[in-house]
Structure 1
């Protein structure tokens, strides 16, 4: 049976570390710490010049950020997964995923309003975005979605090469959408860093906080047997267990 790990597990420690780092970055940005603000501006100016000089790659980045890794694309993906889980009868898992995604979105929008950071402003913009800059909603949503889907895939027994491929896709997606947001000039570097850290930390914290046990794999159907046959089968099993050198698969 697949189960959510109890408090004190590695997901909780990882969530605590990632969340603490995000809080530190948030504090430094709101305190207008010069070295970090200078880094933001330097990276933004450099990538904006590159975006103007390479319109083809700017177009590619806009497609990736506006369609492939757009928050609504990620939410639609999670909605389809939730519907599939409900169809399978895994209601608790479906509700847990939906609730975690909803809380992540609420935290994201609340922080944007609280911090109120302005986005970069350019004489020749290559893209546009509305509302406050920090944290990046694109990056935060992509990171949270990847954590939830990876957890679900692991619960269904994905291992080996498919698991490594899923990890690679998740890493490329989170790093990729962060790059597109800075390349297109709508976010500062630290916006994407805080978004990524919180997008990883929140679902990990929700995962670690769970105490219920969830069976994410299809259970074999139970067959009705008479009490006599059940006792006989139980006796045979006990006999096998007491046989020297015997083992169960």
Structure 2
């Protein structure tokens, strides 16, 4: 009668995989956090070249928008209604309800966690940097200027919608989904600068931090899914095996 002796290689391989995943998640976060931190330090210390560029763009956009009321109204509509942070939070909340009913509970946790981290980092950074908003702006907004909360929320919210729903989008429609995501994240930043609610560096900071949050949380989620459930059968199955891809040609 033979006796099975557990191999020591198993725990070692597990530890190796754990370390590799930890490095990958940390690396994904640092890819965004490092440039964001450098930008925040430049803003906090009012680095002359950056400050001059921000002020020059703000004044140019203020003059341009003031002379074009139709463009100003369009920017207000897009910024305050179509791409408002509240809209993205509602969309993610509706998505979470749908996911919960389909049994994709881990995706719900990921989506809520990513949005919560984005909101917390935005609020904390605004307090730490304490940057005043542009003067003589076309519109007014409360709170600090760096980073742009609209841009950060749009980047994370639109990114979540894309990453979660892409597997169920027909293949021929996926370029449209990608375009809608990019336009939403990029467009809201442009409207905030155009309206004078933020400097250009505020918007860039929102984009960078949003991408960092998405990269780190999606990496952590993929790690969690791999350790707590069966992997997806192929790359088209998306981030959660419970959300099935659309059939080819549909």
1:216 match: 242
Indicate the residue corresponding to 1:139 in structure 2: 151
Q: Relative CO higher for 1 or 2, CA cutoff 8 Å, sep ≥ 6? A: 1
1:167 aligns with 2:171: no
Q: Which runs of 5+ in 2 are unaligned?
A: 1-19, 226-239, 246-250
Alignment correspondent of 2:231: none
Out of 110, 113, 117, the position equivalent to 1:96 is 110
Are 1:201 and 2:215 counterparts?
Answer: no
Measured after TM superposition, the shift of residue 17 of structure 1 is 2.0
Aligned residues: CA RMSD: 2.0
- Equivalent runs, 1:1-249 vs 2, <5 Å: 6-9=21-24, 13-122=27-136, 125-154=137-166, 156-158=167-169, 160-210=171-221, 211-213=223-225, 214-218=240-244
> In structure 1, how many angstroms separate the alpha carbons of the residues matched to 2:214 and 2:143?
24
Larger radius of gyration: 1
Q: Secondary structure at the match of 2:224?
A: coil
Question: Does structure 2 retain, via aligned residues, the 8 Å contact 1:7–1:208?
Answer: no
User: Is the Cα–Cα contact under 8 Å of residues 41 and 188 in structure 1 kept in the other structure?
Assistant: yes
**Distance of 2:200 and 2:96 partners within structure 1:** 32
User: Displacement, 1:87?
Assistant: 1.1
Contact 1:143 1:174 in 2 (8 A): yes
The one-character-per-residue Cα deviations of 1:144-175 (angstroms, maximum 9, x if unpaired) are 01221121123x35464322111111111111
TM-score, length of structure 1 as denominator length: 0.79
Show CA shifts across 1:50-86 (max 9, x none): 0111111000000000000000001000000001111
Evaluate the alpha carbon distance shift between residue 95 and residue 14 of structure 1 in structure 2; reply closer, same or farther with a 3 A threshold: closer
Equivalent pairs, count:
211
Question: Residues 168 and 150 from structure 1, CA distance in 2 versus in 1: closer, same or farther, beyond 3 angstroms?
Answer: same
For 1:75 and 1:62, the matched residues in 2 are separated by: 19
What is the CA-CA distance between 1:15 and the residue it aligns to?
Answer: 3.9
TM-score scaled to structure 2, two decimals? 0.79
Inter-partner Cα distance in structure 2 for 1:127 and 1:164? 34
